[in-house]
Amino acid sequence: MDIWAPAKTALRFFNSAQGWVEVQVRRKAGTAPSASMRALVARLYISGEGLELGGLNAPLELPDGVRVRYVDRLPTEELRAHYPDLDMVEVDIIDDGERLESIAESSEDFIVANHFLEHCEDPIRTLGTLTSKLKPGGILYMAVPDADFTFDRDRPSTTFEHLVKDHTEGSQRSREEHLREWVRLVEGKGDEEIEARVRALDDMGYSVHYHVWRMHELLDFLTRTIDELDLQLTMEMAMRHAGEVICVLRRSGSA
């Protein structure tokens, strides 16, 4: 496999279906390294018809012949009002990506959730929901920022115990705590500004990075959640590239 131009490098990695795979990667001019790697991984794993959650201005570049519907919590015009400087995809389905109540069970060949999981207030429930919407053999494709390479670098990692408590007791219990940490450690507000800013963000329903992971912590979270919920998911591959962790998981069973 040999794609794009001009910066050509060899990439060799292991995946459970094919063993060691070697590909030639050539980045399309003007394309960010992370986008090129995401597209390469998509060519290896994604086919058929599926969904992308929160694609906004950076939808995944998908292989030819793949059909995707874009899901977001707001219609396109409202998103454009929130982000007037972004050129974004048209939203096909308005739904809460953590619940996907409008999507039939076992209906999708793939679901793409890039830079989505960290915005979820209950990532454990979300992982269960996304799994349930995939057909047997379907692919869950995620890119999640590694906190050490983002504006979250000064924030403590979210523990598995915290996530379990959010899942069992309701995520609203810790929403203000997450917003307060965001305002203090990401926005850099002083003590006298924090509470007013937290109230403002909460009132507008602003979506921050509620949860924070480094690569090994993210993989531990996924593994433990799959085990705790007895999800029919297997990890096909995981890699860190350009400050994010790309994970490909497959729902068990034959398509």
Residues 20-51 pLDDT 10s: 666 555 545 555 556 788 999 999 999 999 99
Q: How far apart are CA 188 and CA 180, in angstroms?
A: 11
pLDDT tens sequence across 226-248: 999 999 999 999 999 889 999 99
What average pLDDT does the segment 93-122 reach? 97
Question: Is a pLDDT exceeding 70 seen at residue 96?
Answer: yes
Same domain for 65 and 169: no
245 in a domain, yes or no? yes
Q: Is residue 155 part of a domain?
A: no
| Residues 139 and 214 grouped into a single domain | yes
Residue 101 in domain: yes
For residue 141, give the H/E element and its range.
strand 134-145
Asked whether residue 99 falls in the same domain as residue 195, the answer is: no
Please tell me the distance from the alpha carbon of residue 2 to that of residue 111, in angstroms, as a whole number: 25
pLDDT at 80 over 90: no
- The conformation of residue 120, written as its DSSP 8-state character, comes to -
Say if residue 11 is in the same domain as residue 113. Answer: yes
The reply to whether 28 and 108 lie within a common domain is yes
Are 64 and 101 part of one and the same domain?
yes
Cα separations in angstroms, 75 against 94, 95, 112, 129, 190 = 6, 9, 19, 22, 35
Cα–Cα distance between 100 and 120 in angstroms, integer?
Answer: 13
The confidence score (pLDDT) of residue 97 equals 95
